[in-house]
Structure 1
Amino acid sequence: MIFSMKTDALTARIAQAQLFDATFELVSSALVLLDGQGRMVKVNDAFAELLGYSLPELLGAPFSELLDRPDGLSQKPQHGQFLLIHRPGELVQRRFRHKDGSLLHGQSKMVAVGTLSLCEIVPIEVAVDEGLGQHQWLQRIVETAPGIIGTFRLNSDGTASVPWVSSCYEEYYGVTAEEVKRDANVLFERLHPEDVGRVRDSIAESARTLNDWQCEYRVCHPKKGEIWLEGRSKPTREADGAVLWVGFLHDISERKRMEQALLQSTARYQEVFDNSSDCLYLLEVTGNRQFRYIAVNASFERTSGIGRQQLIGRCLGDVIPHAGQKVMAAIRDCLACGHIIERESELELPAGLVALHTTFIPVRDEQGVIYRIVGISRDVSERRRMESRLLTSEQQFRALAENSLSLIIRYDLNGHRTYVNPAFERETGIPAARALNTALEAGWSANLPVTEYQNLLRQVIDTGEPVETVLEWPCARTGKRVVHAVQLIAERGVGGEVVSVLAKGHNITALKRHERLEEARLCLFEQLAKGAPLPEVLALVTRFIEQGRADFIACVMLADDDGRHLIPGSVSHLPHPCVQALDRVRIGEEVGLCGAAAWRGSAVIIEDLLADACRSFLRERLIEAGFRACWSRPIQDSLGKLLGTFCVYLSQPGRPSEDDLKLIHQASHLAAIAIERKRAETLLLESKKRYRDIFDGSLDALFLLDVSEDGRFRFVEVNPAFERRIGMGRAQLLGRTLEQTLAPFAVAIAIERCRHCVRNGVPFDKEDEFDLPSGHLAFHTTLIPVPGVDGKIRRIVGIARDITERKHAERVVHAREQEFRALVENSPDVIARFDPQGRFLYANPAAQRVLKQTLSELLGKTFSDALPNSPTAQSFQDKLELIIQTGDVLDEEFTYETPLSQNEQIVCHQVRTVIEYDRRGRLLSILAVGRDISAIRAAERRLEESHGQLRQLSSYREAAREEERKRIAREIHDELGQQLTALRMGISMLRLQFGQDHPALVERVQALMARTDQTIEVVRNVATSLRPAALNMGLIPALEWLVSEFLQCTGIACRLHVPSTRLKLDDERATAAFRVIQESLTNVARHSRASLVVIHLESGDDYVLIEVCDNGQGFDPMSLPKGTLGMLGMRERGVMLGGKVTIDSQPGQGVRVRVHIPLHADS
C-alpha cells in the first residue's frame, strides 16, 4: 500500500523539499549524493549500515575509497561535470569494500546531472541533476528509489485522500495513480480481507501518536495475485487537524518467501537436532569461564539420565560435578586452541557408566571471540565392550573355523596365508602345512588369475571394505570342477586399522549349476519370445539338460500329426547312424525306447544296454557309439496329449537319481512349453489369416478407428467393401481422420456417434442414409469400443452393412402392411393373431365387436380369459394349444351355445387357424380368421327342415304308393284273377258242353281260352310288378324270387347269400330293401355288362346290411349325370328309413351297393 500526504495547503516547493528529505531518509535502498569532486555530501542510514560506517566517517570522503581496486573510479572533467567510468544511467556490477575488509557485491546506477551525482546501491541507481531544482531532484529520487513514493492524507472527518503519488502505482495495486487520486478507498478494497482491520488500526494509531507509520500487509493484485508490501512514512499534523503522511511503499514478497523458507529450514534443523541419535548440546561460555547449557537434545537426556529442565540455564560443573571436571578440561583445551577437538572418556552419569566419544566445536561471534561450544557425543560403550570381547571372539573363531564346512583362510598384510581350516584341505587337496609355507602362486589352479586375486587382497587391505569373488577349480578327489563364493573381509585391530584379511569360501557348485540352468532357461524363453524356429528352441532345451549334466546326451522326438510315429526334433548331438535310425519311429510297446515311452505315457529306463537285448531296436548302434544306458519319458501338454518324447543317453550304465529325474522333468516341461507355444503360434497365424480373409472378403464395410488424445478419430484399417462404398483406396484412407475423409454433411454425425461410443463405452447401433459416390445408400452401422490396457477406449471397430435393399423392402412391406391393415380393419371377418402362449397380439374391429371388448382389453389375454364362462371359448383355446404343439392347420366350426348378449341369435363362425413362422422356421404367431356363418347355418337348418319335410312327404307318398300297389295287386289278384278264372271255366264248360255238336265253336272257344290264359298271365305279371307275392312272405323269399326272375330274364349269373336266421324286418323296411336291390339289379342288367352278381345279406341285432356286387365295367360316381334318378331314389329310400345307401365303384372294377337299414326307427 502507498501512503502519501496532501500538500495543497503548502507551496509546491516546500512539499517537494519535505518529500525529498523524508524519502531519502526512509527509503530502504542505500543512497549517496556526490559532488563534482566525487566526495560524499549526503548519505542515508541504509547506505551507512550497508558498508559498516557511521555518517560522520562518510561525509566528505571520496566515494572511490569505498570501491575495490579493480572497480576504482577515474575522474575526467568534461564540460564542467564529474563523470564516472561508466556511462550515465548505465547499470553496473560493482564490488564495495566493507569497513571490516570484506567485499560486498552489488549493482550501482549513477546519473551525473550538473555537479552532483546520485547513486543507489543494490536495486537501482539514479543520479539527480542539482541544476534541475528540487522538483527535478525529487523526481529523480522517485524514479531511482525502489517501490512507490507518495503522500496520504487523513482528514479530521475520517475521509482519506492521496494528493500525490509516484507513477508505478499500478504495478503494486493494479490501479493507476489517477484512479487512486480520484478515490482513495480503492486502496483498502485491494487489501487482503484478513489485513484490512490491522492496516486501518495502524493508520489510526500513527495519526493519534504521530509516530512513524510502518506496516507489512498483503494486496490482492488482479494480475499478480497475492503480494506482500511494506510501507513506511512520517506523519505531520496540519493546521486544520488533518494528518499528512509522506513515505514509501515497496514489494517484500520475495523477502516473505525467504522468511517462510527460513522458518521451514529452522524447523528441519530443529527436527534433526531433536531426533539425532548422537548426544547434541550447546554450551554458552560465561564471563567467568563457566559453561552454561542452553540446548540439549532427547538423545543427550536418555544417555545422561538427566532431564532437559534440570540442564537448561545451569552450568556444566553444577549438574554433574565429578564427570563435569573431565568434560570441562576438554572444553578448556578447545577454548585454548580455538579448533575442533575430539576426546573419548568414560563418565559416571546418573544413567550409569557411559563411554563417550565427544567432539567439541567452537562458535565465534562477529569479533571472532568464542562465545559458544557445540558438543557432539556418541555412546561408544558398546564398542568398548566389543573390544573387550575381541580376544574371546578370536578363540571362538578358531573353534568355528576348524569345524566349518566353508573354506576359511587368513592372510597377513603381505598376502601370505597365516591360517587355513580343515575344509580348505578337503576342498583344495593342499595340506595346511604346505599352504602356510608356500607362496600363493604355488599350486594355484583357480579360474581367476593369481595376480587379480592378489589385487583383491590389496584392495581390501587398503580400503577396509569387503570384496566378493567367485573361484572355480577342479576337485582333487573327483576331478569335477567345484565353485566357491569367496568373501574377503578386513580384520581390524583395536584402533580400527586393518591387521589381516579373512577369506571365507562357500561351496556354491550346486547353486552355480542352478544359475547356469536358469540362464539356459531364460535364453530358451527369450528365443520363444522372439519367435525362433522350433528346432532351435529344442536345441536349447537339450543344451539346458546337458549343461546340468555334462555326461548326458539329450534328444527330443516329436509326435507327428496322426500321433502314430515319432520324428526327430533335436538329435544333433547323437552319432549319425543313430540319427538315421530315428528318422521315423513307430509308437508301440516293443519298437524302441522312445516308442515305448510314448505308448505307455510314462518313463522307460534301460539301465544297461548290454543286459537289455530286446527293449531297443537301436541297441547295437548305441553300443557302437559308446552308450551304455538310456532313459526316455513322454512329453505331454497341459491336457495330457502326447507331444513327443525326451530321451537321455549315457556312457555309463545306471539308473537316474532323484536330481536327474527332476532335471529331465524340467527339460520335458520346457520342451512341452516350446512345442505347445509353437503349435499355438501356428494356429494363431492360421486364425489371423482366416480372420483377415473374413475381414477382406466380408460384404459389410469394416473399418478400425484410432482414438487420439485430442479426441480425433483416424482410420487404421479398412476392408475392400469399405473402399468401394467410400470411393477411396486403402492407401488414401489409412492415417486420415474422419474430417479428412467424409463429406461435410456426414462428418458431424459420424464424430458425434464415435464420441458417444467412447463416452459410454458400449456398442452403438444406428441406421443412416448417405449420398455416396456409389449412389444413395442406407447403412446399419455398429460401433464397438475397444479399451486399452489402461481401461480407456483406444480404438473403435466399425461395421457398416448395406441395407438399401432391405430399406426398400421395408418401405414396400410398410405400404403392403398399410394396405393389409386397411383390408383387415374393414373386413367383416373376425381376424386375430395370438402369440406362442395363446395370448392376443391383435384383434381387428370385427373381432372386438364380436367379443364386446376393445383391443387394449384383449391384449395379453387368452381366448378363454376373454370369455371366461364360454365352453366354446375354452374349446377354441384347447384347439389353439394343440395347433401350437402339432403345427397343424385348423379349419373348424365353432358355435356359441348361447347368444353373446341378449336379443341376439346364436353365433356360428367358421374358423381357419394357421401358424406363422419366422425365417429360421421358429413359431412366431398364430393367425386365426373366422367368418360368421350364422346366417348360412340358419339357412341350412331351414333347408334341412324343408328336406326333412319333403323326405317325410316322399316317404309318406312312397308308403302310400306301396300300399296302393299292394292293394291294387291284391285286388287284381283276388278280384280280376277270380273273374278271369271264372271266365276261363265258363269257356271250358262251353267247349265241353257244345263242342261236340259244333266243331266250329270248339275252334272259337279254343281261341278264347288262349286269349283268356294270356290275360290271366298279364294280370299275374301286373300284380307281381306292383308287388311280388313272395314279398308278403318276407324279404328272403322275395329276394330268392327276384334272383330267379333276374337270372331267367337276363341270363346273368346271380348268387344270393342269406343268414340262416329269420330276419325281423317290418314290411316297410323289407319293401324298401327289396326295391333298392331290385333297382340295383335293373342297373346291372342295363349298364354293367357284368357276368356275375353277388347279393350278400347280413343281419345284426339292430340292423340289416345288404351288399350287391357285380364284376361289370364300373363307373365314376362323381361323373354321373344329374338326371340319374335311380341312384337318387335308392339313397332316398335308405335315408327315409333312417339308414344309408352307399355306392362304390371305379371304372373297370365293378359296382358295390351297400344298404344299411336299422331294424328300429330310433336306431
Structure 2
Amino acid sequence: MDIEFIEHHEPAAPSYRQIFIVPERDVNGHIIGSIAFGRDITAIREAELKLKHFIENLPGMAYTFQVSGGQARFPYVSPGIEELYGLQPRDVMDDMMPIHMLAPPEDRLRIEAAVAESGRTMTPFRIESRVCRPGLPVRWLDVRSVPDKQADGSVVWHGIMLDITERKQVEAALRASEERMRLFFESTLVGMAITSPQKGWLQVNDKICQMLGYSREELTQLTWAQMTFPQDLATDLTLFERMLGGEIDNYALEKRFVRKDGGIVFTDLVVGCARQADRSVDYVLAMLEDITERKRAEQARQAYEHSLECMDSVNIAILAATNPEQMMRNVLGVVLTFFDCDRAFLLYPCDPTAPEWRVPMERTRSEYPGQLASGMGAVPMDEDVAGILRTLLDAKGVVKFGPGAERAIPSNLVTQYGVRSLLSMALSPKLDKPWQFGIQQCDHSRSWTRDEEELFEKIGWRLSDALTSLLMYRNLQAREQEFRTLAENLPDSLIRYDSQGRRTYVNPALKRMFATTAEQLIGKTLQETNPTSMQMPQSYQCALAHTLATGERSEFEIQLPSSDGSIRTGLCIIAAERAPDRQIIGAISIGHDITERKRNEAELERYRNHLEQLVEERTQALSSAKEAAETATRAKSHFLAAASHDLRQPLQAIGLFNQALSMTKLDEEQRRISRNISKSVKSLGELLNGLLDLSRLDAGIIQPHPEAIQARRLLRMMGAEFDALAQEKDLHLDLFCPRQGLVLFSDGSLLLTVLRNLISNAVKYTESGGVLVGIRKRENRALIQVWDTGIGIAPGQIDSIFEEYFQVANPQRDRAKGVGLGLTIVKRLSQLLGIGLSVRSQEGQGSVFELSVPLNMSSDPQVPVRATSMPQKTVVGTRLAGLRLVVVEDDATAAEALKLSLEMAGAQVTLFRSAEEALACPQTMAVDHYISDYRLPGINGLALLEALQASSGVPIKAVVLTGNTSPDQLTLMQSSRWQVLFKPIDLSTLLSAMGL
C-alpha cells in the first residue's frame, strides 16, 4: 500500500511525501513483518498543480479521446469544455455526440477522416473546426491530437482544443485589408507604385504603365528620376532625401513626368515609406493621379483669359486711333507687352515680286532696335526676304522660324538684326496689298506655344480688319474730296437730297444759274424753296418723289427761266443713293443745260431732211445704173457661156482625136506635132476653165466648206502635181513644212485651186532657179508663201496683176503663160475663204505671194485633208479592157472622137445620138458605165440618166459632159447626183471621174 501526506512548514510552502508499505513473508508465504519506503513527491505535486492550473485556464480544453466497441467517448475533458461547447465533462464521458453535433457537417467529415488516418498511421493530427452553438457566434477551434496505443491494442488520443476565433477574425480582417489594398493598388483610378530607396520601380499597377507609356518590364530598367521632367527633379529629390533621412515620413507635390513618346504628364504625387526596425526605409509607396487634363484646362482657361485681355487691349488700341499710323503703333505696343518679345513690326508690302520693302511701324525693346530705327526707309528686295514673304503667302496662316521650327531664319536677319526666333503671318486687308505682321525674339531661342500662335493669329485677323476699315475710311475721305472737287467745278448743276427730299448739297453752278445762295436751299424741300426762279415744274417733283420711293433712275427734259430771264432747256437725271444694305437714303440730281444742243438738233434736223431728199434722188439714179450693170453682166455671162460651149465641143474632139493619135505608132516629127497640138488645146482649155471659174463665182454657187487640212499632205500633193513641170524647165521645186506639222482650217478644194494658180504662175514665169513653197505658223494662223526667182513685177503693176486678163511682161500674148485669169481667181477665192493675200516683188529678182490661212483649233489634229483630184500623167491602153460603155452624144465629131479614144483604151463602146434612141435599145441596160452629153435633142442627159436609174435595180455609174458654163447651168449641175465634167476633157480626167 502507499500513503501520501503533506507536511506543513510555516512560513515555507508545504511538502508532499509518499510512503510505500510492502508485506514481508517467510518461505512459506506467511507474513512475518512489513517493509516501508518513503519519498518526497513535492516536485511532482507542484508540477501537477501547475499543469492543472494551465489546463483549467487554457483558452480551450484538454481531452482524452477513445473509440471502443464502436462507441466514441471522452474519458477526460478539462473544464474548458463548458466555455467552448456549453457542456459539462460528464456530458461527453460516455458519448462524444453532444460535441460532434455542434460542428458543421463538412467539419465533422474532416474530423472523422483525420481520426481514422491518425489511428491507422499512429501519427498526430491537427485540424481546424468550427463550433456552431445556437444563438451564439461561430467559434473556431485548433484541434491537435496525439495517438497512444494501449496494451490491449486500443488507441487513445490525448489532445487539446484551442479557441482561435480571434486569430481567425484577425486573419480574415487582414485578408480583407490585403484584398482592399490589392484592389486599390490595381485600380485604374490612380497610379500606384512601390519603389526602392534607390529610386527603382519594384512594382507598378496598370495605371502607371498607361500614364507613362512603358511596360512593367521597361519600367524595372529605369528609375523615376530618369523619367522626371527636368525642371521638377530638384524639388522631388530634396523631399525624397529628407524622407530617407527620417525628417519626414511622407510628402506630396505636383510633378511632371516625361512619357516614353516624349509627351508630358502632369501628376499629383503622394509618397510614403515603410521603415525597418532601425528606422531605415524598407520600400517606398507612391500614388500618382493624372491631372494632365485638369492642368490643360487650367492652362486653356488662363490662355483664354490672357487672350481676352490681350484682344481687349488690342481693340482699345484700335478704337483709340484716328489714323493708321497711330493704330499700328498702339497695337504693336500691346503685342510687345503681352508676348514679352523683343520686337513687333509691320512690313509692307508682303509681295516677293515687289522691287523694295519698308517697315512702316515697329515697337522694340530699347536694346534691340529694328529696321525703322535705322532710318533706312525702303530697302531693295533680296531673295532672303522674298523667300519669307513667299512662305507667308503660301501658308495663309501663322509660320514659325528659328531653331526647332519648320523653317530656318535667313542668316542676314541673324547677323543684322540679331533675330533668333520669328513668328509671322501675312495680313490681307481689302483695298490694299498684303502686309507682313511679325514678332521677334533676340535674346534667346524661343519655342512659341500653340496658345501663343492662336492669339497671334487672332491679333493678325483683327489688325487686318482694322487696316481694311481705316483704309476704306481714308479712301472714302479721298473719294468725298474728289466728289466735292468734281461737284464744285462741274459746269452742270448738282443737287443732293436726303430720303425726305430735303436738299443737303448744291454746287456753285446751280447757285450761279439761279442767282441764289446755299442758305436759301440747304435743308429745304422743293415746296419750301423761296426763290421763285427755283420753283421746279411738277414733272421734276414727281420724278424726284418716284426715285426716292422706288430707287428707279429718272431722265427727262425740263424748261426753266434763268437769272437773265431767258428760257433754258435742261436734261435732268435723278438717281437714288443707297446704303450698304440697299436702303434708299437719298438722291442726286444732275442738270445739264442743253439749250444750245436743242437748237443745233433742230438745225441738224433741217439739214437731215434735205440730205435724205438728196440721198433718195441719188439712190434712185444709182439703182438704175446698178440694174443696167447687172443686166450687162448677165448678158456677158450668157455670151461667154454660149461662146464657151460652142468652143468646147470642137476643142474636146481635137483633144481626144490627138490623144487617140498619140496612142498609135508615130515618128518623132509626128509626135512633136501632136505635142504642139496638145499644148494649144491645153492653153485654150485653161482659158475656158478660167472663164468657167469666173462664171461659178459670178453665179455665187461656190460655197466654202471648211475642214481640217494637214499642211504636210497638202504640200505633198502640190509636189506630185508640179514636180514634172518644174523638171521640164530644169527648175528645182522646194517644199517646207514644220517638223511637228500644222493643221489648217479651210475649204480643201478651193485652197488647192488657189495654190495651183500661184504655183503654176511661179513656174510659168521662172526660167532659172526655182520655186519654194513654205508653210509656217504665225500665232493662230498659217503663213503660206510661194517664192520664185522669176521675172518679178514692176512696182507700178502690183495693183493690176489681179485684174482680169492682165499679164506681166507678155506683150506678145504668149498663151503658154496663160490668159491672165489665174490671179483674178486667186483673189476672188481668197476673199471667199477669208484668206489674207499679199504680194512682194522685185523686178528681175522674183516674187513672193503670201496667204494667211486659219489654223484648226480642234483638240484632234489627225484629220485627213479631203481628197482632191489630180491630173493623171499617163493612160494605160488596156485600162478599159472588157468594159462595156454607152456614150450618148448628138455632136457627130465629138461622139466619134470620144468613141475612138475609149475603144483604143480597150472598151466596148455603144454610141447613141439621142436619149430616145438609147432608151429604145434593150442593150442599153446591160453595161458597166454611161457617158452622156447634157445638151441632147429632146430629153437632156440628166433626164436620160434618171430614166435609166429608174429602170435599173442597182445604182448606175455615169458621167455627164457639158460645155455650157452659164450661171443657171452651173447651179443646175451642182445638184446632180452624178459627176459633171466640163468640156474640153482629156481621157485621163474622164477615166478618173469614172473611178478607173
TM-score band w.r.t. shorter chain: under 0.3
TM-score (norm 2): 0.24
TM-score (norm 1): 0.21
